[in-house]
Amino acid sequence: MRRLVHPIERESYRIMRAMVDTSGLPRHSRDVAERIVHTTADPAWIGDLVLDEAALSRAAQALSSGAALITDVRMVAAGVTAREAVCFVNSGRVSVPSGKTRAAAGIAHAATLHPAGAVWVVGNAPTALTELLMLAAKGEVEPEMVIGLPVGFVGAAESKLALRESGLPQLSNVSARGGSNVAAAAVNALLYGDPLEDEK
């Protein structure tokens, strides 16, 4: 997607590339890694991310073709600046069963509406990612891609490991860190690409 890149963003990317060499990464992996580092001002993300170029390319194509974009919380949806996103975390249409979080209930509801072909983004709640993986294992949902970057000391790293072991097309990271801003950054990277592309 072509967009007007602000001079501050351009300069930020130039500074980042002077600090971190991502030139060896393939196109979409580089876009995602750099956008996350840019968003967090933390180069250590490069070594934490688990990047799969084929899965990222598939997600970029799906998004450009209008695939549904489903998020676990509204903060992720708000951070995606070029696309509408579906989020049911606080929807009055979704009941929350005992023992289940609102984020997990929202994911379960979204799966009934988008059983195949959607790009799923989890940036806050490990329980939402666990719910999605359970539904996928049952054959109730077939994600086009799962961006799993939930944050927290309880279940975050474990849910991301389970995502990698599921065999689903995915983007994740190894540690317990993550967050809505990081997940939104990954989506924006797939939508926008390299902000300095015209300088090459």
Q: Which of 6, 28, 38, 109 is catalytic?
A: 38
Query: What is the number of structural domains in the chain?
Result: 1
- What percent of the chain has pLDDT above 70? 96
Amino acid at 110: A
Grouping H, G, I as helix, E, B as strand and the rest as coil, residue 200 is coil
Q: Which amino acid, residue 13?
A: Y
In a domain, 55, yes or no: yes
Nearest to 42 by CA among 200, 145, 185: 185
Chain segment 128-182, per-residue pLDDT in tens: 999 999 999 999 999 999 999 999 999 999 999 999 999 999 999 999 999 999 9
In a domain, 1, yes or no: no
The single-letter code of the amino acid at 155 is G
Residue 142 has a pLDDT of 97
User: Could you tell me if residue 15 is inside a domain?
Assistant: yes
Catalytic, 109? Answer: no
* Assigned domain for 54 exists: yes
Domain that holds residue 123: 7-199
155 found inside a domain: yes
Residue 93 is predicted with a pLDDT of 76
Q: What confidence tier does 195 reach under pLDDT thresholds 50, 70, 90?
A: low
Q: What percent of the chain has pLDDT over 90?
A: 80
Q: Can you give the CATH number for the domain in which 139 is found?
A: 3.40.50.10230
| pLDDT band, very low/low/confident/very high, at 1 (cuts 50, 70, 90) | very low
pLDDT at 199: 61
The answer to whether residue 171 sits within a structural domain is yes
Residue 40 has pLDDT above 50, yes or no: yes
Residue 2 lies in a domain: no
pLDDT digits (tens, 9 = 90+) for 71-96: 999 999 999 988 899 999 877 777 87
- pTM summary value: 0.92
Tell me whether residue 78 is in a domain. yes
